Homo-oligomer: A and B are copies of this chain.
Amino acid sequence: MPSRKNVQNTRMSKQLRVLHGALLDIAAMMNRPQRDELLIRAAGIPLDRALFPLLVLIERFGPIGVVDLADRVGRDYTTVSRQVAKLESLGLVLRQDNAEDRRVREAVITAKGKAMTELVDGARERIARGVFESWEPHELDELVRLMRKFADAVSHDPPAD
């Protein structure tokens, strides 16, 4: 007779695997070039590769320093520093000093950069609306609440191992 705790662990393992699969599916949706992103590319602005995800993050979380950005994308910070410099040269972000730590060079989105992220945000929002408009309103409320709760928890973990 398996102990109660083992049964619960097995059940949670299954749930985590399902959740992981869902996260991968949603990530795939976000990795696909949206139609408007294709327009950006066709306009000759080389943002499709490493630069665009950074621009999205700067819009969402800026002003943000190089090390924080690098941590988010899982890249070496020197790489990210170079990419932010490129974004600046394209006029899509500005870099400013941080008042509290004179070493930090924070990236903040420009109006031009935001116009770009809004193209893709708009496309993604249309997809999401198409999904959620057929949901019960409390279902979306609950998904948003629980996802924010999960994200808050994993964003503040210092693994104490």
Chain A contact-residue range equals: 35 or more
**Copies of this chain held together in the complex:** 2
A125 neighbours in B (Cβ, 8 Å): 13, 16
Q: Are A147 and B32 in contact (CB under 8 A)?
A: no
Q: Report how far A152 CA is from B68 CA in the complex, Å.
A: 32
List chain B residues, Cβ under 8 A from A15.
Answer: 140-141, 144
A135, closest chain B residue (CB):
B149
Q: B25, B72, B153, B154: which contacts A151 (Cβ < 8 A)?
A: B25
Give the complex CA separation of A157 and B140 in angstroms: 19
Task: Given A25-B154, A140-B15, decide whether A35 and B161 contact each other with a Cβ distance below 8 A.
Answer: yes
- Pick out which of these stretches binds chain B: A39-47, A84-92, A102-110, A126-134: A126-134
Determine the main DSSP class of A at the interface with B. Answer: helix
Q: Do A16 and B159 touch across chains, with their CB atoms under 8 A apart? A: no
B143 contacts A19, CB within 8 Å? yes
Give me the interface of A with B, judged by CB distance under 8 Å. 12-13, 15-16, 18-33, 35, 56-57, 60-61, 71-74, 121, 124-125, 127-133, 135, 139-144, 146-155, 157, 159, 161
User: What would 6 more interface pairs be, CB under 8 Å, given A21-B151, A25-B155?
Assistant: A15-B141, A18-B147, A23-B30, A25-B152, A32-B71, A131-B154
